[in-house]
Every structure is written in C-alpha cells, then in structure tokens.
Amino acid sequence: MIWTELHPKILGGAFEKVLGRAEAGSVSFVRCLTPDVVEALARDTDFGVSGWQIWRVADAGDQRQRTITADRAVEIRDSKGDAALLLVDTARAGAGMDGIYSAAREVDEASLFTEALRIAGREVTTRVSHDTRDFADHALKKARGYGRRYSISLWTEFDFLVRVAAEKRHPGELLYLLGLWPVQESDESEQGDGLEVSRMFVDRLLGAAVSGLTPAHRIESLKLLNPSEQQIGDLEQFLRSAGTKPLLPALADLADKKHLWGNALRIEGATQSIQSIELSSWRTNAGKIVRWSGLVEEGGSNEPPALILKPDAEKTGDYSKLEVKWKARPDNLESLPGEVTLERWKKESRSTFTHRRRPNQPRTALLRPS
C-alpha cells in the first residue's frame, strides 16, 4: 500500500461527517479497516477528527503511536471523559473488546466510505480535471462489472481515487489497483474503448476460462496489431510469472511496464482502414476450380474458367452466381463483408467480361479483362 497525504485527510473528513459533534463520554469504534490501514492512521499525525481522541486498539500500548490495549479502551469507555474514536486492529485487539462492541457506537463500512468516496471524487475533480473524474468513475463501474459481477472492496475504490488525486495521474495508469489492465492516455481512442480493452486483456490473458492455455495462445486470441518482438516476449514472460500469483499482485507488476499497457499494445479493432487484402483463389491446391466460385473449367488448363449464363434465367429465376472472396486485415472492418455475391448477371456487369456463345451450348462468359 502506498500511503499519501490525502489518505488521512479524506478519512478524517469522512469520520467527522459520520460521527457528528463530539460529546463528553461518547465512544465510537471502527473495525472495517484492515490492520495496515489502522496502523497507518494511528501513526499519521495528519489524521484527526475534530473533538475526538484517536486511539488504535491492539495487543500492546504505545502512547507515541496512539495505541492502547483492549483493557485501556474499556477504561476510557467507563471514565466518560473526552469523546474517543477507537480504531480496532482486528488482528491484534483480542477478545477484550466485547464490552466495547456491545456498548459503543460502530462506524460501519458503508457509511464511512460513502462519505470518503464522495470527498475523494471531489479531490480528483479539483486537483486534476472533470474529465479525469469521469474516466475514474467509468473505470470503477467497469471494475465492478455488470450487476457488480466482480468483487471490489470499498477501500480499493477509495484508494484508487485518492492515488489519482494525490499523484495527479491519468486513471488509466492505476487501473491495476482495480483488477484491470493499465492503459496509456491517448487522444486517438475514446474513454470507453480504453476500458473495454482493459477488461478484455484481463479476461483473455488472466481469466479463469483461459487458465489452461499457453501464454502464446492467450496472446494470439487478442489479435494484436503489429506488436514488436520485445512486446510479445515480455508479455509471455509476464503471463508465466502472473500464473503463480493472485490477480491484483500480478497486475501490479505491470506498473512499470508501460510498453505492455493498453494503447501501447493495440488490437485489431473495428475500422474502415484496410491494411491489406488477400484474394481467395478460385482454384484448389490441385489446380481444380472450387465449387463456391460458380465457375467451370473451359478448355485446357491454360484457358480461363467460364461462367455459364443460362438463357432462360429470366423465366426460371435460376440465375448464375459468381462469388469473389478475400481476407482483409484487420479482421474487424466496419461495413465490409468478407465476400461479394453477384446473384444476377446484369447489363452493367458485362463490360468487365467477354461473352460468347457456342453452338448447341448455353451462353458462357469467359473471365477475361475487356
């Protein structure tokens, strides 16, 4: 955990909002914070709540670190002195806290972080920008997933917003804190697209559904656009290392690997810009005409194939069909099908080919340039 000057400031403001005015004899406690956060707050002199004494409750007392034992906490409750807020270290406080839990007021997680997240979001807007706040909010929604499919703790959401505000960084650089793939800020991609790619990278590279696939197969499924050899090599190495770690620590390893972030690694997204086209041959490897083409052999192997034009097609509706297929890169091209079918041989098409008719045979079109 990276502790910033905003963590104690914002949490102090959130506690003040939830606790209200301090009154003599009031004792409140919080036990939803992790032990490392509780210890950091107790040690940080910038953390305070107006009118309230702050004490961490653990297994040993240390006045300099604002730390007391459970027995001392009970004495504070019974003395009816100044208002006290007890930060309970749940890993070290022990069973002596039962008297506090039954008689004092608890600050629950939902109430505390409702205020903390609101203040943290405001700090992002003030210190960075409104657009940054919007991106951060969208990132939180993407991390939670539809219907809160993914489990993201309130502390994680809070820590993400605080880091963005305190370090004045683009939220995409810190997405690994939320269980998402970090992305570089780019003017060429829209906010939503960057977050979609971030989620897709995690699902296809680190998701449970692909755990049995090799790193090479996972990378291939992304359909990366012109990655360098170094990027592919480093990405494979990262995936091997990530396979031995939980998700969040694994993603944290990407923090200093910017060449592996989204927008540094690009995918073949929907586009109208064609990089290359490869026409599919009308002949098989054995030199035969493929059936889907609608063509037939005409003469020797050196002769061009023929399209049979049936003279009674206007009456029967049985029109000849010529198919041209190709493969284009990237794969996801907008408004561009992978094949074109000419269902009707119309007048305007005839200028492309030379036609002739043989005795006792249907009309044919030899595929020669006009």
Q: Dump pLDDT digits (tens) for 153-173.
A: 999 999 999 999 999 999 999
User: 191, 135 in Cβ contact below 8 A?
Assistant: yes
| 3-state SS, residue 208 | helix
Q: Are residues 26 and 75 in the same domain?
A: yes
Pair 132, 226 in one domain: yes
Q: Which of 191, 189, 331, 338 is nearest to 270 (CA)?
A: 331
Residue with the larger pLDDT of the pair 81 and 370:
81
Question: What is the pLDDT confidence band of residue 301, given thresholds at 50, 70 and 90?
Answer: low
Tell whether 116 and 253 lie within a shared domain.
yes
pLDDT of residue 236: 96
Task: Please give the Cα distance from 97 to 89 (Å, whole number).
Answer: 11
Q: How many CA atoms lie within 13 A of 165 on its CB side?
A: 28
Q: What is the per-residue pLDDT for 211?
A: 87
Do 227 and 286 have their domain in common?
no
Residue 106 is predicted with a pLDDT of 96
In the chain, how many domains are there?
3
Residue 161 placed within a domain:
yes
**Are 103 and 116 in the same domain?**
no
Do 286 and 352 lie in one domain? The reply is yes
Task: Report the alpha-carbon distance of residue 87 to residue 19 in Å, rounded.
Answer: 14
Mean per-residue pLDDT, 310-334: 74
Domain boundary among 107, 134, 161: 107
Q: How far apart are CA 213 and CA 66, in angstroms?
A: 51
Residue at which a domain ends, from 205, 228, 260: 260
Whether residue 225 sits in one domain with residue 141: yes
Within a domain: 209: yes
pLDDT of residue 330: 59
Q: How far apart are CA 340 and CA 326, in angstroms?
A: 9
Residue 100 shares a structural domain with residue 121? no
Does residue 30 lie in a domain region? yes
Q: What percent of the chain has pLDDT over 70?
A: 82
Shared domain for 66 and 139, answered yes or no, is no
* Owning domain of residue 335: 276-366
Higher pLDDT, 43 or 313: 43
Structure tokens belonging to residue 209:
């559904």
- Alpha helices, H only, 53-190: 70-79, 98-103, 109-127, 130-144, 154-167
More confident residue, 149 or 133: 133
pLDDT at position 355 over 70: no
Q: pTM of this prediction?
A: 0.72
Residue 295 contacts by C-beta under 8 Å, 6 or more apart in sequence? 282, 289, 305, 306, 307, 322, 367
Inform me whether the pLDDT recorded for 362 exceeds 60.
no
Pairwise CA distance, residues 308 & 353, whole Å: 13
Domain boundary among 46, 76, 107: 107
**What pLDDT, on a 0 to 100 scale, did the predictor assign at position 343?**
39
Exposed / middle / buried, residue 152 (Cβ in 10 Å: 0-12, 13-18, 19+) = middle
Residues 116, 179: one domain? yes
pLDDT score of 303: 75
Q: Is the pLDDT of residue 190 over 60?
A: no
Query: CB-based burial of residue 120 (10 Å sphere; 0-12 exposed, 13-18 middle, 19+ buried)?
Result: buried
